[in-house]
Amino acid sequence: MPTTELAKILSEVLKYYFRKKLPYVPAYEYTAEELKAAEALFKKWSGRLRLIPVILYFALPVIYGWVFYELYLFFYSQYISSPDLFFPMDWTVFIMPGLFLGIGTTDQVATYFQRILMRGKYDMFVDYANRQEGFDNAGSFRLLTRILLFPFLISYILVMTTVFIVSPKQFTYKDVFDLSYHTYRYSQVKKVTYFRSYTNDKKEREAYPHHKIFFTNGTTFRPDAYFAEDSLAAPFIQVLLNNKVTLDTAETDYN
């Protein structure tokens, strides 16, 4: 089934659900002349006003993500002091909770700007739009906001607790989807290996220089799983070497 057909079917299913769940309740008793004026108002503004939520769908997740990242930096700056080293996550990771919050609040933010543009005619416009669709549009977005609240909170907690802290005697890290922190003393690091390439499941070798840390308990850790690029882990690798951890090289990494 073509994607456009599937989207059309999904749209009709949602409209049917909203008409049952949030039926249209008229806010005005229109005369024939007022109904004609409302129709003209809808035709004039509907295309223009649709641009606002479209822009916000892309803009809000980025804005929220940047705000969350600044809060993240501020929070950890209060608790981490020299000589500890703090390596923050790449800020783009914070777009994940920003996406859920952005979609959930697009209608509220769009409404604010739409009211300004329409100068007192917004309520009539919305009522006529609801009349055309057969359900309460604002109510459907409020329902969407409640649905997205849970994934927003989960993703927000996950990214805000993601951290990589290097101390004089140990280091602690937690990746985005880890549920617990991992702390290792430098004496627990068996060695660090620098691989020039990576061999995937299809036995195909790809040029991908990266480090892998081997621990005495048999587990491993790749810094590029936390850092946006392996090269950004250079200060951390240097700390390991300063603590007499062995560094060797190998041609390819298999897992």
Q: What's the structural domain count of the chain?
A: 2
Is the pLDDT at 151 greater than 60? The verdict is yes
**One domain for residues 224 and 171:** yes
Full residue range of the structural domain in which residue 73 is found:
3-160
| CB-CB contact of 83 with 136 (8 Å) | no
Q: How far apart are CA 132 and CA 24, in angstroms?
A: 9
**One domain for residues 244 and 173:** yes
Q: How confident is the model at residue 255 (pLDDT cuts 50, 70, 90)?
A: low
**One domain for residues 60 and 41:** yes
Q: Which of 164, 185, 167, 165 lies closest to 176 in space, CA to CA?
A: 164
**One domain for residues 176 and 116:** no
Average pLDDT over residues 167-182: 88
Average pLDDT over residues 178-191: 91
Q: How far apart are CA 222 and CA 35, in angstroms?
A: 65
**One domain for residues 134 and 190:** no
pLDDT 10s digits, 86-100: 888 888 899 999 999
- The whole-number pLDDT of residue 187 equals 92
- Where on the phi/psi map is residue 218: left (φ > 0), alpha (ψ -120 to 50), or beta? left
Last residue of a domain, one of 104, 137, 160: 160
Residue 249 CB-density burial (10 A; 0-12 exposed, 13-18 middle, 19+ buried): exposed
**One domain for residues 71 and 185:** no
| CB-CB contact of 61 with 89 (8 Å) | no
| Residues 6 or more apart in contact with residue 27 via CB below 8 angstroms | 123, 127
Average pLDDT over residues 12-33: 79
Q: Which of 243, 90, 111, 99 lies closest to 166 in space, CA to CA?
A: 243
CATH number of the domain enclosing 221: 2.30.29
Last residue of a domain, one of 101, 129, 160: 160
**One domain for residues 117 and 168:** no
Q: How far apart are CA 16 and CA 134, in angstroms?
A: 9
Q: Is the pTM of this model over 0.75?
A: yes
| CB-CB contact of 236 with 166 (8 Å) | yes
Q: Which of 246, 125, 109 lies closest to 191 in space, CA to CA?
A: 246
Is the pLDDT at 1 greater than 60? The verdict is no
**One domain for residues 181 and 84:** no
Look over the chain and give the mean of its residue pLDDT values, rounded to a whole number: 85
Q: How confident is the model at residue 127 (pLDDT cuts 50, 70, 90)?
A: confident
Q: How far apart are CA 159 and CA 233, in angstroms?
A: 19
| CB-CB contact of 118 with 124 (8 Å) | no
Q: What percent of the chain has pLDDT over 90?
A: 23
**One domain for residues 76 and 120:** yes
Q: Is the dihedral of CA 81, 94, 89, 168 positive or negative?
A: positive
Is the pLDDT at 159 greater than 80? The verdict is yes
**One domain for residues 15 and 138:** yes
| Residues 6 or more apart in contact with residue 141 via CB below 8 angstroms | 106, 107, 108
**One domain for residues 147 and 202:** no
Of the ranges 5-9, 21-25, 42-46, 220-224, which one carries the lowest mean pLDDT score? 5-9
**One domain for residues 155 and 167:** no
Last residue of a domain, one of 160, 181, 213: 160
- The whole-number pLDDT of residue 85 equals 83
- The whole-number pLDDT of residue 87 equals 85
Radius of gyration of the chain (CA): 27
Element (H, E) at 159: helix 137-160
Q: How confident is the model at residue 3 (pLDDT cuts 50, 70, 90)?
A: low
